[in-house]
Amino acid sequence: MVSIKEIKQSFIIALWFMVLTFPIMVIKVNTIKNIVIFRWENLFWTGGICFFASLIWNYFLQRKEEKQKSDTSDYVPTVHRLLQNPRFRLPFLAGIAVFFIIYPFVLPMYHTSIMISALVYVMLGLGLNIVVGLAGLLDLGYVAFYAVGAYTYALLNLHFGISFWVSLPIAAVMGFFFGTLLGYPVLRLRGDYLAIVTLGFGEIIRIILENWDDFSNGPRGISDIPAPSFFGHIFGQHDSVIYIYFIVIVLVLLTIFFVNRLENSRIGRAWIALRDDEIACQAMGIDKVKTKLTAFALGATWASLAGVVFAAKTSYINPMSFTIWESITILCVVVIGGMGSAIGVIAGALVLILLPEYLRAVAEYRMLVFGALQVIVMVFKPEGLIKSVRKKYEFKKIKE
């Protein structure tokens, strides 16, 4: 039930919004005829929409508060319940498998190319989820490892003719090395200080690539990067896109498998302990140095693998492909999807990367709609689209 107080509040908000948007929504200057046109109907439409939007917003906020009071901390998202139930797990996974298998054969190449980009961000998100979601280390320079993988393949192919398949493990090793290199200076840092240092590391890598012409071709970048071959067979453009699509599917499945195994391993539990309480984690005898370095190194490994796929897909890279905005996008994938939740990160990547493309129908308003949707998700589901579920271990006494 809407109260009088909420109606008054919505009315005041609508009034202020009408005042703020008056120059944009009402006044139109015709420079050809030198006249000013006042579009008063736009002002009333703006006020009415804002008024009802404010009422709806307050209504859903109340519903959220009531739900939080009634809900218990043991709430399990629907997706997790489906995967935990043996009756629904197999049909659910089979349906997803069929969807992704037939996807490139049913839809045009443009849609397949977009899906490849989304799946690359799934890899990036799962890698960053190790650092941010599990270990609780805020990394704003994650795009640097993405660049390391892409330039590793591009440079090895340019100078030595090394193929995609040989470059993949080399890029993984390079990512692991650079992840360890970043981990050492930040062992004593946390929170905002850690974010600033990692942000600086990401910018250092980009600036080096942009200014070291003899090494990376500078701002010109590297072109004609070959797509992966199949035992020496080179595919045409359309078949090559489908081939890369299935390569990314396999890499995503491997990423999910390894990240899941890591999360349930001893080092995974150490990451979660480090995230929850660093002092208590150290007091329990967990090696904080080894735990942080492992998180940075393994997260960087998956970013480098994704960088190799990105270079092979686009066939051209330059330093401007790896700006701070890429790091922010990957971090949004993790936060909006659900920190610490592999399923949430996958959902977040698919939504954040596919949604802007499919909103092209609304032209210049698509990023406005996209931003508004992100705000709505963060307000009403701050734990992410699919939150992480803490695992419980029960020990039952054996009856003699």
Average pLDDT of the chain is 83
Dihedral, 381, 377, 321, 240 alpha carbons, nearest 10: 90
Question: What is the per-residue pLDDT for 248?
Answer: 93
- Residues paired with residue 37 on neighbouring β-strands, in sequence order: 28
- Residues paired with residue 30 on neighbouring β-strands, in sequence order: 35
- The mean pLDDT value for 366-370 works out to 68
- The mean pLDDT value for 322-343 works out to 85
Q: What is the DSSP letter of 386?
A: S
Closest by Cα among 199, 147, 132, 136 to 334: 132
CA angle 331, 252, 303 (to 5 degrees): 45
Q: Is residue 7 exposed (0-12), middle (13-18) or buried (19+ Cβ within 10 Å)?
A: middle
| Predicted structure pTM score | 0.83
User: Which residue has better confidence, 76 or 339?
Assistant: 339
Cα separation, 301 vs 170, in Å, equals: 10
- Residues paired with residue 222 on neighbouring β-strands, in sequence order: 317
pLDDT of 95 over the 80 cut: yes
User: Which residue has better confidence, 400 or 256?
Assistant: 256
Cα separation, 112 vs 202, in Å, equals: 30
Q: Is residue 9 exposed (0-12), middle (13-18) or buried (19+ Cβ within 10 Å)?
A: middle
Which residues, in sequence order, are CB contacts of 256 under 8 Å at separation 6+? Answer: 126, 342, 346
Which residue has 């003899």 as its token pair?
A: 214
CA angle 133, 138, 142 (to 5 degrees): 95
Closest by Cα among 57, 125, 163 to 339: 125
* Half-sphere exposure in the Cβ direction for 118 (13 Å, CA): 21
Dihedral, 54, 59, 65, 71 alpha carbons, nearest 10: -140
Residue type, 114: I
Cα separation, 41 vs 21, in Å, equals: 13
Cα separation, 133 vs 333, in Å, equals: 11
Question: What is the per-residue pLDDT for 120?
Answer: 92
Cα separation, 345 vs 140, in Å, equals: 17
Question: What is the per-residue pLDDT for 301?
Answer: 92
Question: What is the per-residue pLDDT for 291?
Answer: 86
Instruction: Give the helix ranges, DSSP H, for the chain.
Output: 4-20, 22-25, 40-70, 78-84, 86-106, 109-128, 143-160, 164-183, 191-211, 213-216, 237-263, 266-276, 278-283, 288-314, 324-337, 342-358, 366-380
Cα separation, 125 vs 335, in Å, equals: 10
HEC secondary structure over 236-269: CHHHHHHHHHHHHHHHHHHHHHHHHHHHCCHHHH
Domains and CATH numbers, the chain: 4-70 (no CATH), 107-380 (1.10.3470)
Question: What is the per-residue pLDDT for 364?
Answer: 61
Cα separation, 400 vs 311, in Å, equals: 62
Q: Provide the percentage of residues in the chain whose pLDDT is more than 90.
A: 15
Closest by Cα among 27, 79, 17, 22 to 49: 17
Distance of CA 278 to the CA centre of its chain: 25
pLDDT digits (tens, 9 = 90+) for 27-84: 887 777 788 788 888 888 888 888 888 888 887 777 777 766 665 555 666 676 777 7
Instruction: Of 137-151, 326-340, 369-383, give the lowest mean pLDDT range.
Output: 369-383
Question: What is the per-residue pLDDT for 150?
Answer: 92
